[in-house]
Structure 1
Amino acid sequence: MSDGLNDARAIRVAEIMTDFRNLQHYLVQLRATPTAEEYYLEGYSLLRECMSEAQAILQTPFSGGAGAATGDPETEKRQLRAIIADSAVRRFQCQRAYLRAHAGLRWLNSRNSILRGQKPNASHLGALQQADATLRNECLAITDTYVDNTLRAADAAQGKWLNEDPLLAQIQQILASRR
């Protein structure tokens, strides 16, 4: 028998997909134009990687199973749960890419601040190495647990219904099965 929560599930799908769309919009706006000498620097490579991840997420087929609406509340419940799981995984992936891209942009801004339009030279070496180290440390801090916590904290602060959102372990399991 239906539990009467399908409307809440449908609203949750819309919330997750809105977050996903916003993250995707941010990621496709990334524009970094390195010179040939800068192309393989960590920050620029990271930004390209994040943009590629965003594209790959969009190209991943829906994994929740397909089916037309039958009017049966139990079938709709299963479909909505599958959509919540799939969209939550995609949002998680986008949030991770977003956080990493944001670290890359901080690196880029730091680098630009250090160089002030000049070509890198020996006087910049220490500061540029520090910027690289900061980027690496920021990326190490962007763990799956951290990503999950940022999403759950934002959702909870907005009073969203989270009862059927997949746990981090479930998200990781779904991602592992897609590899």
Structure 2
Amino acid sequence: MADGLNDQRTARVADLLSDFRNLQLYIAAVAVDPEDQDDYYTEGWAALRQCSIDGQHILNCAAETRVPRVRGGPEEQMKAELQQVMLDAYSRRHEAQKIYLRQEAAQRWIGWRDQVLQGQRPHAGHTAQLAACDAQLRVELAAITDDSIYSDMRSSDYQMGRWTLEDPSLRHVQRWLRARR
């Protein structure tokens, strides 16, 4: 009954966990507090702090360790266990990618804001430009969707020649993520 794909499943899990680890390192390395505390509650800095919290949460949430017993012997049981671990790793990577993209948008916002302010503190003359920066940040954050992330990551995996035959569907990833909120 064994399908002989457990080595591919194991390699896929290793790739997913490596990607997740790298994303977590990027997420953790981003500063979340502005130099000037007057900027603490601005949209971009608030988004960065939320990304840090979300990154810590996805790192700390428990894995689903319950795997149903299957018939067919140890190879089939190993297949079921690897598929469960793959869903967990795939979903964590997906969420970490979403956090990373949100961080990048917030960091661009900081750059735009710095260009507007040019070392000055905000004043009435900056209001329209700073509002435009905030609006652009909201547009960029809204564009970071589960659908786009899933599609981009699948495309990237395919281009890297990774084995994706049994990758979980977006629906399964979203269900996994909802269960951990």
TM-score (norm 1): 0.93
Matched position secondary structure for 1:100: helix
Single out whichever of 55-64 and 78-87 deviates more from structure 2.
55-64
Q: Which residue of 2 aligns with 1:141?
A: 143
Q: How does 1:3-152 map to 2 (within 5 A)?
A: 3-34=3-34, 35-65=36-66, 72-152=74-154
1:31-68 deviations in Å (ceiling 9; x for gaps):
143222211111001000000011011111111437xx
Matched position secondary structure for 1:178: coil
Q: Which residue of 1 aligns with 2:70?
A: none
| Unaligned 5+ runs, structure 1 | none
Corresponding letter in the other structure for 1:153? S
**When the two structures are aligned, how many residues end up with a matched partner?**
176
| Unaligned 5+ runs, structure 2 | 68-72
In structure 1, distance between residues paired with 2:84 and 2:123 = 54
Distance apart, 1:127 and its partner CA:
1.3
Matched position secondary structure for 1:171: helix
Distance apart, 1:19 and its partner CA:
0.6
Matched position secondary structure for 2:38: coil
Distance apart, 1:77 and its partner CA:
0.6
TM-score (norm 2): 0.92
- Identity rate of aligned residues, in percent? 41
Question: Is the 2:61–2:180 contact (alpha carbons within 8 Å) kept by the matching residues of 1?
Answer: no
